[in-house]
Structure 1
Amino acid sequence: MTLSQHANAWVARLTSGHATVEDAAALRQWCAQSDAHAAAYREATRLWRQAGSLATPRRFKPCRKLFAASAVAACLALVMVGGTLLGVVPDGRALLADHHTQRAEHKIIDLADGSQAELDADTRLSVDFSAAQRRLELADGAAIFHVQHDTTRPFVVHAANMTVTAVGTVFEVRHLAAGISVTCTEGVVEVRQGDGTRQRIKAGEQIVYNAMGAGPLQRIDSARELAWRKGVMAFRNRPLQELVHELNRYHQGRIVIASDRVAQMPVSGVFHLNRVDEALRHIEQALQLSATRLPAGVVVLR
C-alpha cells in the first residue's frame, strides 16, 4: 500500500465508530515516522472533510451469519458511541481535526499568520490557509479568534451552514445546544447564512442563529460572555438545555434532560465549569428538579 492508501485507511478507521485509545496511539506513531507520513494523513483528512466519506459500502446478501455478526457489530458500535458521549472513548472526528480539545481542556493555538485561536473544551478546529484566504472550520465547541490584520486574505470561520468573516478583530463562535452564537468583542465581523443573508456585528454585540434564522442583535458584556476562559459561565434566563450543553463539555459522563418541558425551563446563575456537581445542585434547587445519578457519570434531570 502507498502512504496515501495507508492514510485513507487510518481516516476510515477513525470515522468508523470503532476507534480505540490504542488506535489513537498507533496513529500518532505512524504520523511520527516521517514528514511524508504526517503530510499524507493531513491530505487524507482534508479530502475526507470535503467529500464526507472515503468510500461507499458494498452491498451484501443477507444471511443468518451476517445477521448475527451485524447484531454483534451494532452492540459494539453502541458501546463505542456511548463511550464517546461519556468522554471515555476517543472521538475519531477529533483526531481528524487539525486542533482539538478534550473535555474540561482549554488550549491556545498560534496560527501561521500570527492570529490566535482560544479553544474551549470539547472543540474541533481545522485550518486551511492559502495565498488568497484564511479558512477555518469550527466543527464543534467554541473558539475565540484574535485576528491579525491582512486585507488581502480574508479570515473566514465556517460553522454549520454559515460563515463569519473578519479582517482584524476579536470574536467568538460557539456551537449551542440548538444553534450558533457569534460574539464580537473588537472590530467588526460579517456573518453570512446559508441562504446568502448577511449581517454585520460590531464590538459588544452578539447574535444567535438557529433553524428559524437569526435572532435579535443584542448588546452584551464581553467579559461576562467570555468568562469561560476563567472557568466560569454566567446565565440569565436561558433555557436549561443550553446550560447542560455547556456543562457536558466539562463533565466526565453525560447529563441528560428527561423532557422537552424541562429542557426549556429558564435558568440563571454563575456556574463554575470545573464544579459540575455544584451546578447540578443549584439546578435541582432552583428549578425544583430531581437528578438521578447512574453509573459512568450519567445524570438524568427530571
Structure 2
Amino acid sequence: MMSTEPMPDDAERLLEQACAWLSQLHSGEFSTSAQQELNAWRAADSTHEQAWQRAEKLWAGLGQLRGRRVIPGAQPLSGEGGWQAHDEGVRVSRPVAKLDSRLRGNDGLRSLKGRVNTRTRSRRSLTLAVACCALLAVTLTALYPPAFWRADYLTGKGEQRTVTLADGSRVMLNTATALAIHFDDNVRRVELLTGEAFFEVAKNPQRPFVVSSAGSEVRAVGTAFSVQRQSAQTQVELVEGIVEIQDAQQHRERLTAGQSALISGHAIALQAAKRPENMALWRDGYLEFDGLPLHQAVAQINQYRPGRVVLLNPALADKRISGLFRLDALDQAIASLNAAVPELQIVSVTPYLVVLR
C-alpha cells in the first residue's frame, strides 16, 4: 500500500526553498550572483542537495504539462561549485560551504519571495509559480511514498526503462519502480525500493552484485535475474547463472537457472521451476495470467494501464484467469475477462474508469 506519511517539517521546508530556487532558475532572469547563491545553498549541506534533487523530480514530472523534458541545471555540483556532466550510476562528492545567511530557514524563503515581489509583473508571476511549486511539492509528497524521493532511477505507471550502471551492468525497470544505487570498492549494491527490475550483471568476482529488497538480499557475480518487491515480500526469478538469496533472519538458499523463490522476513519458499524464456515476460511487452485469481489479475492490470479498473463483485474475486496479453493492449485483456468469467459484467464509465460487477 502506498504510504501517505508526511515529510518531516525540516525536509518539507527545504523542499519549499528548493522549489523557490528552481522556479527562479526557470524564470529566464537568473543572474550570475543568483547562480552562485544557489550553488552555495546546495553545497552547504547534504539535506539541501537532497531537497534540490526532489524538486527537480517534481519539475520533471510536470514536463508534459510544460511541453519540455530537459531540466537545466540537473547535473550535480562539481568540486569547484560549477556544473559538470553526470555519468549514470556514479555518485559525485560535493564540498561543504558556508550557508549564506540570507537563505537560512523560513527567513531565507521569505527573503527570496520578497525580492521577487518588488520587481516587475513578470516577477510577480514568478512569485505565484514559487507558491504553486511549493504547494505541489507538499501535495505530491503526501501522494507518493518516500521511496520515490530516495531513488536514483525510477519509472512511472506503465513506463519501462533500461539503464546501464557504472560497472557495465544493465537494469530494466518495470512499471512504477524505484532503485537506489550504493556502489563502493567492495560491493555493488542496488536497493529495490519498490516495483520490479531485471538485472543483467557484469561479471566481477572481486565485487559481488547485491540486490536488497524488504530486508532480503540477492547476491550474484555475473548472471541474469528479476526481483519484484511485493510489500514485505520479495519474488526472485533466475534466468541465467547462480544466485544466493537470503532473508532477514539470515536463512540462505542457492538458485539455479529456471528456479524462483518468494522471500519473506523469516522464510524462503522455493517455487516450481519454469523455462527461463517464460520468466519476466514483461520485458517482451506481455502480461501472463496462469490460473491467477481475478482480483489479482485486476491488480496487475492496474499496475500498467492508465486509470483504474475496479472489481465491485467480491463473489467473483477468486475466479481463476489464464491468458497472455500485450501490455500495450490491456483494454483487450479487460474485455477477455468476460470469456473466463461469463457472469462478469464490464462497464466502461470513462476510458480511465472501468467497473467489473
- Normalised by the size of structure 2, how large is the TM-score? 0.61
- Match in the other structure for 2:41: 2
User: Partner amino acid for 1:251?
Assistant: R
Alignment of 1:106-185 (within 5 A): 106-176=160-230, 179-185=233-239
SS of corresponding position for 1:282: helix
2: CA distance, partners of 1:237 / 1:178: 23
Cα separation, partners in 2 of 1:212 and 1:284, compared to 1, 3 Å = farther
Alignment pair present for 1:249 and 2:303: yes
2:172 and 2:146 map into 1 onto residues whose CA distance is 22
Aligned residue for 1:247, secondary structure, equals helix
Q: Which has the larger radius of gyration?
A: 2
Aligned partners of 2:180 and 2:191 also within 8 Å: yes
Return closer, same or farther for 1:113/1:230 CA change in 2, 3 Å cut-off.
Answer: same
Match of residue 354, structure 2, among 291, 299, 302: 299
Counterpart of 1:7, as a letter, is E
Aligned to 1:220: 274
Mark the runs of 5 or more structure 2 residues left unpaired by the alignment: 1-39, 94-134
**Structure 2 vs 1, CA of residues 258 and 196 (structure 1 numbering), >3 Å: closer, same or farther?**
farther
- Structure 1's 132 and 241: CA in aligned 2 closer, same or farther, altered over 3 A? farther
Q: The residue matched to 1:244 in structure 2 has which SS? A: helix
For residue 249 of structure 2, give the secondary structure of its aligned residue in structure 1.
coil
Contact 2:216 2:265 in 1 (8 A): no
CA contact (8 A) 1:104 1:274 kept: no
1:30–1:198 Cα change, 3 Å:
same
Q: Distance in 2 between matches of 1:262 and 1:210?
A: 28
2:73 and 2:230 mapped to 1: Cα distance? 35
Q: 1:93 to 1:178 in 2, by over 3 A?
A: closer
Specify the alignment match of 2:157 in structure 1: 103
How many residues are aligned here? 261
Cα RMSD after superposing both structures = 3.7
The equivalent of 1:65 in structure 2 is: none
- 227-236 or 256-265: bigger deviation: 256-265
- CA-to-aligned-CA distance 1:132-187 (integer Å, 9 cap, x gap): 11000112222111112212111000112211111111111123478431001111
Sequence identity of aligned pairs in percent? 29
In the aligned structure 1, how far is the partner of 2:262 from the partner of 2:76? Answer: 44
Is the aligned partner of 1:199 residue 2:253?
yes
Indicate conservation of the 8 Å contact 1:258/1:301, yes or no: yes
Residues 261-280 of structure 1: pairs in structure 2 closer than 5 A: 262-280=316-334
Change in 2 beyond 3 A, CA 1:210/1:295: farther
- Report if the CA contact (8 A) 1:106-1:121 is conserved: yes
Higher share of residues assigned strand: 1
What's the CA shift string for 1:27-70, capped at 9, x where partnerless?
9334248545788xx789xxxxxxxxxxxxxxxxxxxxxxxxxx
Partner residue, 1:283: 337
Task: Please report how far the alpha carbon of residue 115 of structure 1 lies from its aligned counterpart in structure 2 after TM superposition.
Answer: 1.3
Looking at structure 1, the residues matched to 210 and 218 of structure 2 have their Cα atoms a distance apart, in angstroms, of: 6
Residue correspondence of structure 1 range 31-42 to structure 2 within 5 A: 31-32=74-75, 34-35=77-78
Residues 116, 261 of structure 1: CA spacing in aligned structure 2 closer, same or farther, 3 A cutoff? farther
- 1:20 and 1:117 map into 2 onto residues whose CA distance is 22
Distance 1:14 1:6, change over 3 A: same
How far apart, in 2, do the equivalents of 1:163 and 1:203 lie?
A: 17
1:260 CA displacement: 6.0
Contact 1:177–1:241 at 8 Å: present in 2 too? no
